[in-house]
C-alpha cells in the first residue's frame, strides 16, 4: 500500500532553518549564478559545481575488494574473458546509477526514505536491514584491503587499521558536504594509480584489443571456482550500497531536476574512470597468469608477486592503490549506512551538520567502521576468500534492491516527466535477469556441482 508523499502543511512558526539548509542554499546560489551567465567558462564552472556523486560512487565501488577481485581474475584467467566482461558490468552500473541519480534529483528524498514511504514499514525495514548487513560485510573487506596493502610496507595490521579509522574521522570534521566531497574526490582519483602499474608490465596491446573485440571463453570452462570469481567481479561493480549512497548524496548536494543532464554526465564520467582503473588492474596482474596459484595469495601477495616483474616501485604503487581503494570506499559505504539510518529514523542526516547536531548520523557511521575494523584483526582470517565471498553476497542481494529502484523510477506520481523511458526499462530488466541467472548458477555450483558441469557442456 502506497503512502502519500505530500507533507503536512507547516505553519510559519514551525519552519526552522537549519545549519544544513544554510550551507546547501549557499551551494545552490553558486549554481544559479553560473547558470545565469553566458559563455564556456560559466558552463565549465557549472559542471565543476554539480559533478561529484556519480564519480564518487563509481570510484568508490572500485574499492579494496573490487580491486582484489580484478587482480584475482587477471592472475587466474588472464585478459581474454574478464577484460570485456568488466567493461560490460560498468555499462550495467551506468544504467542503474542513472536511475538512482534521477530519482534523487526529482524527489529530493533518499532511497531508504522513499521505500518506507511508498511500500510501507515492512519492505522499508527489509531493504534497510539488507543494506546494513551488506554494508557491514563490505566494510570488513575494505579494512582487509587496507591491511593487505599496508602489510607490503611492513606496517602491522593494528597500526594500519588505526590509521584508516583516523583518516575516516578526519574526512568528516569539515562539517561541510562540499568540502568533504572535493577532498574525497581527490582521494578517489588516486584509483587511477593502477594505470602506470599496468604500463610497467609492458602489455601486449594487440592481445588486449583482440580480447576486447573477440571475447574469448573462460579458461577451463564454467566451474564452481570460476563462477565464484565471475560473481565477485559482478559484485565489484553493481552493489546495493551504491543505490543508497548516490541518491542520498544527490539530495545532500541539493541537485534538482534542472541538474539531471549534468548528473548523467557525472555518472558516465565516473564509470569511464572506474573502468579504466579496473581494466588496468586486470592487465597489471595478467603476467601472473599460469605462474602462480592466486588462490594462495594473502595480505600483500599480489604486490609481492608482481615485484620481480615490474620492480619494487611498481609493486609499491599497486599496494598503495589497494590501500586508497579501501580508504575511499570505507568512507562512502559508512556514509551510505548513516544516510539510510537517518532517513528511516527521521533524524538529521547530512554532511553539512556539525558533530553535535548530527550525533546519531556520525555515531552510526563511526561505530559501523570501528566494528568492521575490529573483525579484520582476527588472526588467520582468509583474506582473499572473504573478499570474493562478500562480493558474491552483494550480487545475490542486488535483484531485490533493483526491483525497488525500478518501481520507484517508474512511479509517475513521484517522477512526473522524469519517469524511466521504455528502452532503459528493457535494459534494466535484462540486468535483473542477468543477475538472477548468475545467482541461480552459483546456487547450483554450491548444491549440485555436477549439474553445473552438465550446464556448461
Q: Which CATH number covers residue 286?
A: 1.20.1740.10
Residue 11 lies in a domain: no
Residue 101 lies in a domain: yes
The count of residues in the chain is 457
Average pLDDT of the residues in 127-144: 83
CA dihedral 232, 445, 403, 364 (to 10 degrees): -50
Going by pLDDT thresholds of 50, 70 and 90, the confidence category of residue 127 is confident
pLDDT digits 0-9 by tens, 194-223: 999 999 999 989 989 988 888 888 777 777
* Weakest mean pLDDT among 35-39, 48-52, 427-431: 35-39
Residue 26 lies in a domain: no
Residue 39 lies in a domain: no
pLDDT digits 0-9 by tens, 351-392: 777 777 778 888 888 888 888 888 888 776 666 667 667 777
pLDDT digits 0-9 by tens, 387-441: 667 777 777 778 888 888 999 999 998 898 889 888 888 988 888 888 888 777 7
Query: CB of 318 within 8 A of CB of 303?
Result: yes
Check residue 199 and give its pLDDT: 94
Residue 111 lies in a domain: yes
What is the percentage of the chain residues whose pLDDT exceeds 70?
A: 86
Contacts of 72 (CB under 8 A, 6+ apart): 229, 232, 285, 294, 297, 384, 388
The Cβ of residue 163 has, within 10 Å, a number of other Cβ atoms equal to 15
Closest CA to 348 of 124, 20, 24: 20
Check residue 11 and give its pLDDT: 46
Residue 36 lies in a domain: no
Find where cell 526499462 sits.
Answer: 425
Average pLDDT of the residues in 265-281: 94
Check residue 295 and give its pLDDT: 45
Average pLDDT of the residues in 4-21: 52
Residue 256 lies in a domain: yes
Check residue 416 and give its pLDDT: 87
Which domain covers residue 336, as residue numbers? 51-456
Residue 277 lies in a domain: yes
Is the per-residue pLDDT at 54 higher than 60?
yes
Query: CB of 265 within 8 A of CB of 51?
Result: yes
Is the per-residue pLDDT at 300 higher than 80?
no
Check residue 102 and give its pLDDT: 94
Check residue 381 and give its pLDDT: 67
Average pLDDT of the residues in 306-313: 88
pLDDT digits 0-9 by tens, 161-199: 898 888 888 777 766 777 888 888 888 888 899 999 999
Q: Look over the chain and give the mean of its residue pLDDT values, rounded to a whole number.
A: 81
Total domains in the chain come to: 1
Amino acid at each position: 500500500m502506497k503512502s502519500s508523499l505530500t507533507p503536512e502543511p507547516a505553519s510559519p512558526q514551525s519552519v526552522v532553518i537549519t545549519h544544513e539548509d544554510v550551507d546547501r542554499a549557499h551551494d545552490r546560489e553558486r549554481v544559479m549564478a553560473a547558470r545565469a551567465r553566458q559563455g564556456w567558462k560559466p558552463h565549465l564552472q557549472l559542471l565543476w559545481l554539480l559533478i561529484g556523486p556519480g564519480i564518487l560512487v563509481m570510484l568508490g565501488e572500485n574499492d579494496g575488494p573490487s580491486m582484489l577481485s580484478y587482480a584475482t581474475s587477471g592472475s587466474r584467467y588472464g585478459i581474454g574473458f574478464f577484460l570485456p566482461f568488466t567493461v560490460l558490468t560498468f555499462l550495467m552500473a551506468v544504467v542503474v546509477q542513472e536511475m538512482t541519480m534521477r530519482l534523487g534529483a526529482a524527489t529530493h528524498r533518499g532511497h531508504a526514505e522513499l521505500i518506507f514511504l511508498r511500500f510501507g514499514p515492512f519492505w522499508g525495514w527489509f531493504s534497510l536491514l539488507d543494506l546494513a548487513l551488506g554494508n557491514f560485510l563490505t566494510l570488513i573487506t575494505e579494512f582487509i584491503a587496507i591491511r593487505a596493502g599496508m602489510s607490503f610496507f611492513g606496517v602491522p595490521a593494528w597500526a594500519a587499521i588505526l590509521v584508516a579509522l583516523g583518516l575516516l574521522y578526519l574526512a568528516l570534521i569539515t562539517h561541510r558536504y562540499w568540502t568533504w566531497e572535493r577532498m574525497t574526490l581527490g582521494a578517489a582519483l588516486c584509483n587511477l594509480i593502477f594505470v602506470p602499474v599496468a604500463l610497467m608490465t609492458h602489455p601486449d596491446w594487440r592481445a588486449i584489443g583482440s580480447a576486447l573485440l573477440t571475447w574469448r571463453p573462460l579458461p577451463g570452462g564454467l566451474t564452481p571456482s570460476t563462477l565464484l570469481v565471475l560473481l565477485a567481479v559482478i559484485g565489484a561493480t553493481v552493489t546495493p550500497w551504491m543505490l543508497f549512497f548516490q541518491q542520498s548524496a544527490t539530495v545532500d548536494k541539493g541537485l534538482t531536476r534542472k541538474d539531471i543532464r549534468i548528473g548523467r554526465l557525472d555518472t558516465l564520467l565516473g564509470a569511464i574512470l572506474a573502468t579504466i582503473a579496473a581494466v588496468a588492474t586486470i592487465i597489471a596482474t595478467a603476467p601472473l597468469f599460469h605462474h602462480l596459484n592466486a588462490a594462495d595469495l594473502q595480505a600483500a601477495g599480489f604486490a609481492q608477486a608482481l615485484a620481480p616483474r615490474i620492480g619494487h616501485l611498481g609493486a609499491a604503487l599497486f599496494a598503495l592503490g589497494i590501500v586508497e581503494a579501501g580508504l575511499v570506499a570505507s568512507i562512502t559505504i559508512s556514509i551510505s549506512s548513516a544516510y539510510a539510518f537517518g532517513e528511516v529514523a527521521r533524524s538529521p542526516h547530512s554532511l553539512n551538520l556539525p558533530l553535535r547536531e548530527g550525533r546519531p548520523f556520525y555515531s552510526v557511521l563511526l561505530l559501523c567502521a570501528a566494528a568492521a575494523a575490529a573483525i579484520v584483526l582476527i588472526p588467520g582470517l582468509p583474506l582473499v576468500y572473504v573478499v570474493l565471498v562478500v562480493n558474491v553476497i552483494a550480487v545475490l542481494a542486488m535483484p531485490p534492491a533493483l526491483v525497488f529502484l525500478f518501481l520507484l523510477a517508474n512511479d509517475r506520481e513521484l517522477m512526473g516527466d522524469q519517469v524511466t523511458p521504455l528502452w532503459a526499462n528493457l535494459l534494466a530488466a535484462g540486468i535483473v535477469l542477468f543477475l538472477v541467472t548468475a545467482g541461480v548458477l552459483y546456487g547450483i555450483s554450491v548444491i549440485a556441482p555436477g549439474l553445473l558441469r552438465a550446464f556448461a557442456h
